[in-house]
Amino acid sequence: MKNKLICGDNLEILATIDAESVDLIYIDPPFFSNRHYELIWGDEAEIRSFEDRWEGGINVYVDWMRQRVIELHRVLKKTGSFYLHCDWHAGHYLKVMCDDIFGYGNFRNEIAWCYHKWSVSQRQFVRNHDMILFYAKSDANTFNTLFVPLTAGTLKRWKGYKQQAMFDTKGIRTATSLIDQSQGSPMPDWWEISVINPAAKERVGYPTQKPEQLLDRIIKVSSNQGDVVLDAFCGCGTAMVVAQLLKRRWIGIDISPSAIALVKNRLLKICDVEKTIDIVGMPTSVEELKTFKPFDFQYWVVNEMHGTPSSKKVGDMGIDGLSFYHHYPIQVKQSDSVGRNVVDNFETALRRYYKDKTKNFIGYIVAFSFTKGAHEEVSRAKKDGFKIELVTVQRLLDKKFSIAQEGELFAG
């Protein structure tokens, strides 16, 4: 089967997945934190915003989660494992909910992911960990034990050999060295893994992005090559990237088209997306794109042009992104019949962007359609050194815009 990247409501999508068909589930759902996130994705690019807020309180949040965890339990194989990433806001409520769905006896661990971050002094201990609730569906769950390297002192004393506890005739416990080399100590349920630093190669700017090392550990422990990994809140796609690298099959689901586009861009760096991945639920018509939230639409457009979105959501001075090849400015309008005035304003944005250091002010305007006046203004502006390309959304849907065209469109 091809790996699947699916855009849509995970509750609806999970209902279409066969029962007991998934080997490992990891989810990192919105936390009950009452925070508002402004997302900056990909090369410091601002794309969209989402709210982690739940009117009605914790019971509304838990009921929302319960519906989804019931479906996740249904699709999980009897040998499967389930990891739920959460924090102190709702972790204890989610633990009780999962005990009810998976069974109290199928709880395996509350893993503490520990990290360091800048914190201000408060009248409490610094909160420097998340929790990951680990459940199995049965006693037959896959578990590949990982080991922590032996300490320098232990290596020096026992030369790397396994130790076995023995009791002498007086009942005193002693350690005896065996002939087998030790693999280390079995991994405990607290993991010290750094958060992603600002200069990290894997960083995409997503505010809740988790480090690949964290997902690498989970996937290695609870699955084998060829197994199916599912992330129903895949966000920026770290679970999908790691599963791909570890030769697992996978299914990623997210309700945001921007998130799905971001995951696709990450995967393009490590695999042939067209041949190995089915991308489902992304827009295929102008009518669908007209219903997008403004910044989801903006990101879709810039992504389809293989460009880099603007680093600002507001105050971008008329530049919503830069093209991939020459970094020409892109302005996006979620409108029909874009007219002469938009072209005029874009000329000002281009002049500001190029800072009057060039005779050719080059850029794109993307919209659903353009008026005759807009085309006339483009022709007039060309005489003043402005080379503006008007690109329709339908042209992007038809895949008739290519980054290879940039050098041809504005040559000379």
Q: What is the mean pLDDT of residues 84-113?
A: 96
Judgement on whether residues 17 and 55 belong to the same structural domain of the protein? yes
Q: Could you tell me the residue range of the domain that residue 307 belongs to?
A: 286-409
Judgement on whether residues 356 and 387 belong to the same structural domain of the protein? yes
- Out of 227, 256, 280, pick the residue that ends a domain: 280
At 322-362, the pLDDT tens digits run 987 788 999 999 999 999 999 999 999 998 898 866 677 89
At 12-25, the pLDDT tens digits run 999 999 999 999 99
At 182-236, the pLDDT tens digits run 666 788 999 999 999 888 989 887 778 999 999 999 999 999 999 999 999 999 9
Total domain count for the chain? 3
**What CATH number has the domain bearing residue 196?**
3.40.50.150
Judgement on whether residues 60 and 81 belong to the same structural domain of the protein? yes
**Structure tokens of 295?**
């910044």
Distance CA 363, CA 193 (A): 43
- Out of 224, 252, 280, pick the residue that ends a domain: 280
Judgement on whether residues 106 and 26 belong to the same structural domain of the protein? yes
Distance CA 118, CA 7 (A): 35
What is the percentage of the chain residues whose pLDDT exceeds 70?
81
User: pLDDT tier at 412 (50, 70, 90 boundaries)?
Assistant: very low
Judgement on whether residues 108 and 38 belong to the same structural domain of the protein? yes
pTM of the model: 0.81
DSSP 121-149: --SS----EEEEEEEESSTT------EEP
Judgement on whether residues 340 and 361 belong to the same structural domain of the protein? yes
**What CATH number has the domain bearing residue 359?**
3.40.1350.10
Judgement on whether residues 166 and 260 belong to the same structural domain of the protein? no
Distance CA 229, CA 219 (A): 8
Q: What is the mean pLDDT of residues 47-61?
A: 68
User: pLDDT tier at 411 (50, 70, 90 boundaries)?
Assistant: very low
On the 0-12 / 13-18 / 19+ scale of CB atoms within 10 A, 284 is: exposed
Least confident of 46-50, 99-103, 107-111: 46-50
Judgement on whether residues 79 and 7 belong to the same structural domain of the protein? yes
Q: pLDDT averaged over the chain? A: 86
At 149-167, the pLDDT tens digits run 766 666 656 555 555 556 6
Judgement on whether residues 261 and 212 belong to the same structural domain of the protein? yes
Tokens 């009452």, residue located: 34
Judgement on whether residues 257 and 313 belong to the same structural domain of the protein? no
Question: Which residues touch 173 (CB under 8 Å, ≥6 apart)?
Answer: 165, 166, 167
Cβ(263)–Cβ(284) below 8 Å: no
